Structure 1
Amino acid sequence: MHVKAAKRDWDSRIFDSINIVLLVIFAVIIVVPLWNVVISSFSSGRALAEGGFIFWPSELSLENYRAVFRDSTIWQSFLISVAKTVIGVLTHVFFCAMVGYGLSKKNVRGRKFYVAMGVITMFFSGGMIPTYLLMKSLGLLNSFWVYIIPALLSFYDVIILMNFFRNVPDSLEESAKIDGAGDWRIFISLYIPLSMPAIATIVLFNGVGQWNDFMTTKLYVTDQWLYPLQMKLYEIIVQSQTQSMQNIGGSAVIETATKGVQLATIVITTLPIVVVYPLLQKYFISGMMLGAVKE
């Protein structure tokens, strides 16, 4: 018995050691390029012109960030990104939760048909051109609502919420109905709070998707006042590439300056997600039914 216990303990140590080594390597692969981007964004054009990996800049400079913020449209793009992310996430979660709540009830007529139709939309779509024609017919081109209305429903998120709602004990809903609560009151006051882990996960992933989305703008928006930060970043990269092509064989200062502006814009667009993520992470590990009725 002692030999088996010692062998099991030795195997566990080897397994833990291999895991630690692999996780350290994985962390380095992620952190080092990120560190290089952030530090390079604070480097002067001369330091960037030297090329190579920059662990710490020889010349600290805020000129890249000044160049970004000198562009008056960057603040408008920031407000558009915040507005479409906040409004888009709230409406998406509420709409998906309503559909998931309804489909979680076994007594709903045609429930299997609705679920089957929803699953089909997860694998098939109309394509880019029919979708563009649909947006045009709905009057959503060059409209802020093109960021919100098409993103209202994701049946994948509906399935997640539907499964969470199914796990809510029937006794809780029956108690609420005895107290005189209707479906809306039960949905908002009972099901939503009990499903916060699932909702927080959906908020995070949908929020990241909304914040990083620029294809919607690229396809359906031409008004620059409706450009989000990601589209602004796309424009900066395209303009810098154009300038680089025009200055082939010329000065390298322009090329390194535009590269610095690109890096500064990347840091600015990424920072809000990095700040928000730890605030939502605690919900991933919280118990869904903590404190609920035990049966």
Structure 2
Amino acid sequence: MKFAFEDRIFSIVTHIALALLAFVTFYPFWNSAVIAFNEGTDTSLGGITFWPREFTLENFEIVLKDIRILKGFGISISRTVVGTFLTIAATAIFAYGMSRKELIGRGYYMVFCIITLYFGGGLIPTYILIRNLGMFDSFWVFVIPSIISVWSMIIFRTFFREIPPGLEDSARIDGCGYWGTFLRVVLPLSGPVIATLSLFTAIAHWNDWFVASIYINNNDLLPVQTLLKQTLDSNIASELNADTAAASFLAKRQSFTTKSLTMATMMVTAIPIILVYPFLQRFFVKGVLVGSLKE
């Protein structure tokens, strides 16, 4: 009885600790959303915590009237879709080759891949390489340098090795080569891993702002996250072009602040990727664990 009581106390303490951790993790996002929906001048007075005091959609209207944000969304969506597809496709093909026992020297190849997880060339050599490849101010600078993910390759490779050999042997008997076996047998069985790694890759592409800040000078190619970084570093109102519709809107209504516009921009950039989670959540545990428990 004493043991059961101690277990109950432990369970209660654990749930309280997890609830506090969840609150501490979620509250900054919630508070940012509250500020985004609150009138800017009222927010500057302080005291905005859990609910908007002066509800308004003006902050979002200003942000969405900025043509730079709309173009940035187009770039972010394009790089996320194209980058995720190419990365998953190239990495899965690479991993399938690495999973084949008949691949000569695969142990050495694996060592070379592992080394890249711990050591990199550095920013300056990478900068010189990108420049020599002619990818400055190019959409492909978002995609090509990260087209292979070694971490994802290891997950794919481990998962592929767990597929029963009899399935591939049956495909070979039916006349499939390596490509046929990969496309018709291996990939259809890899749905959970593909979905999970696709989400991780998409999030990395969507959230990245650093690449554009280094290699992109053309404002029409800046993704929305880089624009958000610029917003956080400077006053968004002073950067709006006087010829934009947003500028005329600002001239009529001035109940905004830099902080309120920044929070609205954060919400606009975060919500799209958040909406993807519920559709792929069921693949998380199954996809990652199945591809990583055995080696």
Same fold (TM over 0.5): yes
What is aligned with 1:198?
193
Conserved in 1, the CA contact under 8 Å of 2:236 and 2:261? no
- 2:284 maps to a residue whose letter is F
Conserved in 2, the CA contact under 8 Å of 1:201 and 1:284? yes
Query: How big is the shift at 1:241?
Result: 8.2
Query: How big is the shift at 1:75?
Result: 1.1
Q: With the length of structure 1 as denominator, give the TM-score of the two structures.
A: 0.88
Aligned-pair identity in percent equals 37
Query: How big is the shift at 1:151?
Result: 0.8
Match 1:116 to one of 111, 116, 124 = 111
Q: Measured at CA, do residues 287 and 103 of structure 1 come closer, stay the same or move farther in structure 2, by a change above 3 Å?
A: closer
2:81 alignment partner, SS class: helix
Query: How big is the shift at 1:47?
Result: 1.5
- 1:237 maps to a residue whose letter is L
Q: Measured at CA, do residues 101 and 220 of structure 1 come closer, stay the same or move farther in structure 2, by a change above 3 Å?
A: same
Query: How big is the shift at 1:51?
Result: 1.5
Query: How big is the shift at 1:285?
Result: 4.1
Query: How big is the shift at 1:217?
Result: 0.2
CA offset digits 1:188-245 (Å, max 9, x no partner): 22212222222222112111111010100011101010000101111222231896xx
1:91 alignment partner, SS class: helix
Match 1:170 to one of 165, 168, 171 = 165
What is aligned with 2:248?
none
Does structure 1 residue 275 correspond to structure 2 residue 275?
Answer: yes
What is aligned with 1:260?
260
What is aligned with 1:249?
none
- 1:15 maps to a residue whose letter is F
Which structure would you say has the larger RCO, counting Cα contacts within 8 Å and 6 or more residues apart?
2
Match 1:23 to one of 4, 9, 18 = 18
Name structure 2 gaps, 5 residues minimum: 239-252, 291-295
Match 1:150 to one of 145, 151, 156 = 145
Conserved in 2, the CA contact under 8 Å of 1:47 and 1:57? no
Name structure 1 gaps, 5 residues minimum: 1-5, 244-252, 291-295
2: CA distance between counterparts of 1:150 and 1:255?
43
Q: Measured at CA, do residues 165 and 133 of structure 1 come closer, stay the same or move farther in structure 2, by a change above 3 Å?
A: same
- 1:271 maps to a residue whose letter is I
Conserved in 2, the CA contact under 8 Å of 1:240 and 1:255? no
What is aligned with 1:224?
219
